[in-house]
Structure 1
């Protein structure tokens, strides 16, 4: 069952990575260039928004690659090792960077918005990102404890 789940998840990770790459290189830059042409008063936002979108998607790509590596460790029954902790740390840092950028955008938009819809939506994303980040920290600690227990058990056996 685990073999099937790992294989299915890998297929989905490849599809998600490819989609993010497409968004990162074509969709968002094109969308923001179109926005600058259609609304010249907002043209100054083209490059900051493009950079924001590219970095946010890059953070998600780091999570995808780290998850792929963790799946490899699961398949090899090496998930309770220091290598796993390093990949979980990469996920934690990627989530932290993405959250910090999102929080900065929330603050920038929140203080200048006329309509509460966008700041409210960004607030939901900020809270969701905080939950994901804190959950990853808890899971990292669980992995550390499980790794310690496994090494203790191997020493006894």
Structure 2
């Protein structure tokens, strides 16, 4: 069985890779994808900037969670995880999840009120529920 220090090192490695990929998404992939979609479907081009802003905001929320997790791992290494300093980073995670959830609810309502088929709204509702559970779990764990 691996010691917790090995797990912390592995987790930090994956957090660093995740953060780098998220930056790539923010800077290149998402804006480029929505620009391409606007060119391919001019009738939906009005959604280019709202989709870009919302998706980049969600990536920013995930980045905040990654950074806060990194900081919590630092506190674990210092045996200070059960101090007031850890509450700040737990709050950052909670508020990032809540902020992403609020925007997700807005997207769900926008799509749900305009949808002809229940598939996408149902999928969005499932994601809304999952993110709500994550936020509430963070509040309880705090």
Same fold (TM over 0.5): yes
Matched with 2:128 is 126
Name the residue aligned to 2:45.
Answer: 43
Please give the alpha-carbon distance, in whole angstroms, between the structure 2 residues aligned to 1:5 and 1:135. 23
Q: So what's the TM-score if we normalise by structure 2? A: 0.97
Query: 1:86 corresponds to which residue?
Result: 88
Q: Deviations over 1:72-99 (max 9, x none)?
A: 0000001111110000000010000000
Query: Cα RMSD over matched residues?
Result: 0.6
* Shift in Å, 1:20: 0.9
1:25-75 residue CA offsets vs partner (Å, 9 max, x unmatched): 111111110111111111000000000000000000000000000000000
Larger Rg: 1
Is there any run of 5+ residues in structure 1 with no aligned partner, and where?
Answer: 141-157
Structure 1 counterpart of 2:62? 60
Structure 1 runs, 4 residues or longer, greater than 2 Å off: none
Hey, what does 2:141 align to over in structure 1? 139
Q: Which residue of 2 aligns with 1:143?
A: none
- Structure 2 gaps, min length 5: none
Aligned to 1:23: 25
Q: Which of 106, 109, 117 is the aligned partner of 1:107?
A: 109
Instruction: After TM superposition, give the deviation of residue 115 of structure 1 in Å.
Output: 1.8
